[in-house]
Amino acid sequence: MSAPLPKELARRRTFAIISHPDAGKTTLTEKLLLFGGAIHLAGAVKAKRAARSSTSDWIAVERERGISVSTSVMNFDYADKALNLLDTPGHNDFSEDTYRTLTAVDSVLMVIDAAKGVEAQTRKLLEVCRLKRTPVITFINKMDLEARDPLELLDEIEKELGMATTPFTWPVGRGSDFKGVYDLREQAFVHYLHAERGHANEREKLTDLDDPRIDALIGRLAATLRDEVDLVQGASEPYDAERFERGQLTPVFFGSAVNNFGVRELLDTFCELAPSPQPRETHTRVVMPEESDFSGFVFKIQANMDPRHRDRMAFMRVCSGQFRRGMKLLHVRTGKPLIVRNAMTFLARDRSIVEEAWPGDIIGIPNHGTIRIADTFTEGEDLAFTALPKFAPELFRRVRLKDPMKVKSLQKGLVQICEEGAAQLFRPSLGSDYVIGALGVLQFEVIESRLKDEYGVDAAFEACPFRICRWVTFDRGTDGSDFDQHWPRDSFLDEFGNLCVLTETRFRADWIAEKTPGCRLTSTMELA
Ligand code: G4P
């Protein structure tokens, strides 16, 4: 039998909340923070966002659009657990950043809109979870509005997302008749009592389904509840921890985040079921969280979080050992030591200096551009954690500088913003105009606006004919050094100096591959 995990490790839960935009991710996040005691009034996250916007110009586009562009990290305690919640931008255009966040978590909380079911963004994100076999817990939200039949929703999750479902709660009533949930494990009707808006409300649990108080509370819905509980208990798949941990089965909760219905049931069970920090793969071996030596990897870079300091924050997931303030780490890619005295921990946008951190924790390391996405840090061992690959962008724009004197600032801005990983930068082998590649159009606006705000550069993003990006690799023994001379108009270098081709058609990319012996074109690129 293996030794029990150290206490600090066993109590950690590192997870992300994912959803299609508008399903209720922000609302649920806020409720989790509220129940965790990290904030005292729901609405604070949004209110704070608004307050911050008026005093700082941090990502002006976020302010204008009212969408959450960047990924934030929140550490808070709930009961005896230490939760690390990684918020992910729901907007379709930022999915690359979101994908990478999913490499840093041990489980995922998926929010689904009860009226809309499984939506496009959820489907894409779940593909990544499947790739990583991440356990998923599902919250079906907005049961207080017109909702689809719960059984139909479960069926859709099973078919579309390829996971079995085990309901842990069941909605009592729907829409304006939504009265609470039935806890299928505790076999109790959870009736919610009225609460002041924004505050956590009290619950009353009735454990006997035949209790006449249930009839008194919910009238004719009581009979439906009894029938449904009977049906669901008979028909649903039993919970299987192993299948959950492999991402093959998802526990499902119903509720209404805005009304706090079903949220506590979700959170309590989540803390119990979600895995503690898991082993992580490197290119050479698997790193166990209980190993004594420190190791961690960077999954996100964010520039200019504080415009006054022009700093860049590298978000690192601790994978093993213990981080202590002032410790000397090896930056494996550069081979250089780094003494980390000012690592940060976060609660939404508030930061404080980290004294110690454990596997599962996310710490931010301020730096001036030396740290990149997918970099590994250790106490001396030569390790590289495997990252998610970079995906080929699907949309392209040429960057045209309006003031030629600003070439240097433009270069710096583009490189820094693209190194954050939200968009990709391509330098042509012919000509001088940079090309930006992204997965969604909004990203171009974000970059244009950030160039102006943060780097003082006025640049225009013009349409360009490219549709396809492929990275170029060569078989062993093939000399590819003259590739760009053969294909000058198609050859580019990405922000990390990798050779790639940008073409108008897939046909041309295939043709280039065919005409170049020993050459392979791929639509993904390993970061580490
Ligand atoms: P997102 O982060 O996934 O994009 O969604 P968010 O939480 O911002 O929620 C989207 C909208 O849905 C918000 O309304 C929110 O109040 C509402 N909402 C979230 N959960 C529930 C729920 O359980 N029931 C109902 N009826 N509505 C819910 P909004 O009008 O866009 O914003 P707000 O002004 O209400 O904050």
Q: Which residues contact 279 (CB under 8 A, 6 or more apart)?
A: 286, 287, 288, 289
Q: Which residues contact 185 (CB under 8 A, 6 or more apart)?
A: 168, 269
CA of 127 to the centre of ligand 1 (A): 25
Say what the pTM is.
0.81
Greatest Cα pair distance, the chain, in angstroms, is 83
Contact 282, 384 (CB under 8 A): yes
Q: Which residues contact 66 (CB under 8 A, 6 or more apart)?
A: none
**490 SS3 class:** coil
**DSSP-derived secondary structure letter, 200:** P
Per-residue tokens: 337: 């030591």
Ligand 1 atom with minimal separation from the 46 CA:
36
CA of 141 to the centre of ligand 1 (A): 10
Q: Which residues of 7-43 are buried (b: 16+ CB within 10 A; e: fewer)?
A: ebbbbbbbbbbbbbbebbbbbbbbbbbbbbebbeebe
Per-residue tokens: 26: 């922000």
Q: What is the pLDDT of residue 223?
A: 93
- Tell me which residue has tokens 């640049």: 459
Ligand 1 atom with minimal separation from the 27 CA:
7
Ligand 1 atom with minimal separation from the 67 CA:
4
Ligand 1 probe mutation, 17, 22, 29, most atoms within 8 A of CB:
22
C-alpha closest to that of 107 among 30, 228, 14: 14
CA of 179 to the centre of ligand 1 (A): 19
Q: What is the pLDDT of residue 51?
A: 40
Phi, psi of 105 (to 5 degrees): -110, 165
CA of 442 to the centre of ligand 1 (A): 22
Q: What is the pLDDT of residue 66?
A: 43
Ligand 1 atom with minimal separation from the 256 CA:
23
Per-residue tokens: 102: 């999913």
> Do you know the residue count of the chain?
528
CA of 224 to the centre of ligand 1 (A): 28
C-alpha closest to that of 270 among 173, 149, 135: 135
Contact 151, 47 (CB under 8 A): no
Contact 180, 195 (CB under 8 A): no
CA of 23 to the centre of ligand 1 (A): 7
Ligand 1 probe mutation, 143, 258, 259, 261, most atoms within 8 A of CB:
258
Ligand 1 atom with minimal separation from the 28 CA:
7
CA of 17 to the centre of ligand 1 (A): 15
H or E segment at 54? helix 44-55
Contact 135, 274 (CB under 8 A): yes
CA of 26 to the centre of ligand 1 (A): 8
Tell the residue nearest (CA) to atom 29 of ligand 1. 22
Contact 483, 499 (CB under 8 A): yes
Dihedral angle of Cα 300, 32, 48, 66, to the nearest 10 degrees: 70
Dihedral angle of Cα 99, 105, 107, 110, to the nearest 10 degrees: -40
Q: What is the pLDDT of residue 484?
A: 93
CA of 215 to the centre of ligand 1 (A): 31
Domains of the chain: 19-68+108-274 (3.40.50.300), 281-378 (3.40.50.300), 389-526 (3.30.70.3280)
Residues of the chain with pLDDT below 70 are 1-5, 38-71, 89-96, 194-202, 304-310, 347-350, 388, 527-528
Phi, psi of 243 (to 5 degrees): -65, -35
CA of 445 to the centre of ligand 1 (A): 25
**How far apart, in whole angstroms, are the C-alpha atoms of residue 385 and residue 282?**
4
Ligand 1 atom with minimal separation from the 141 CA:
23
136 by Cβ neighbours in 10 Å (0-12 / 13-18 / 19+) ranks as buried
Q: Give residue ranges with CB within 6 A of ligand 1.
A: 19, 21-27, 90, 141-142, 144-145, 256-258
Tell the residue nearest (CA) to atom 25 of ligand 1. 142
C-alpha closest to that of 315 among 388, 382, 377: 377
Ligand 1 probe mutation, 17, 18, 22, 27, most atoms within 8 A of CB:
27
